[in-house]
Amino acid sequence: MKSLMQLALGADWHKLPASLKAHYQAGSNVDIGYLDIEFPRYMRPYLWLLHGFGALLPRSGKGLSTRVEKDEVSGRQNWRRTVTFPDGKIFLFNSHWTPSKGNQVIEFVNAVMGLEMAARVAGNELHYDGVRYVLKLGRLMIGLPEWLILGHTTIVERELSEGTFSMDFRLTHPLFGMIFRYSGVFCTQRLPS
């Protein structure tokens, strides 16, 4: 069975380093690592609102213990992120990924709101570039330009060693600059079926 990312990348799948292939393998797996989360202070109220809808995290921090459980069911990949802060507060950030056209995937943070991204391999890195935000209303998919919502999304994932990879997620608005970033280092473990 091919994974969602294997289908999106097509022939470029074989160019991915081993740690990124493990990260996107079909079946159940877990990424264990840490995140650094940063954003301008003025974004905090907006992030609390977005988190209420299932998007992003409303607290910043460094070296935050993070666990990301993933499984694939019927062509849909489910991501369950658990981020633990030093004061013991735990934040959950769940989403599911579905295929779109060509090399694109959509990450939905709830049943209605999603981000469509184009995936590509560049050297030994996997890059995502935001295409648009989407609202799914039944069978109707409404596209919204990135600048209208949070700005342009980029993600870069890079193998550090055969067992670990780094990731860097950024939201950059054309007027306000970088408004949200999380980055970290992870290793992937396969979960029993």
The pLDDT profile of the chain, 193 residues, written as one tens digit per residue, is 789 999 999 999 999 999 999 999 988 999 999 999 999 999 999 999 999 999 999 999 999 999 999 998 888 999 999 999 999 999 999 999 999 999 999 999 999 999 999 999 999 999 999 999 999 999 999 999 999 989 999 999 999 988 899 999 999 999 999 999 999 999 999 887 6
Q: Which residues contact 49 (CB under 8 A, 6 or more apart)?
A: none
Looking at residue 93, what is its pLDDT?
Answer: 95
Chain centroid to CA 77: how far? Answer: 11
Task: Return the pLDDT at 190.
Answer: 86
Per CATH, the architecture of 4-190 is what? Beta Barrel (2.40)
pLDDT at 193: 64
The domain spans of the chain are 4-190
H/E stretch holding 140 reads strand 140-144
Contacts of 43 (CB under 8 A, 6+ apart): 179, 180
Backbone angles phi, psi at 146, to 5 degrees: -60, -40
Sign of CA dihedral 83, 44, 110, 24: negative
Label the pairing between strands 90-99 and 76-84: antiparallel
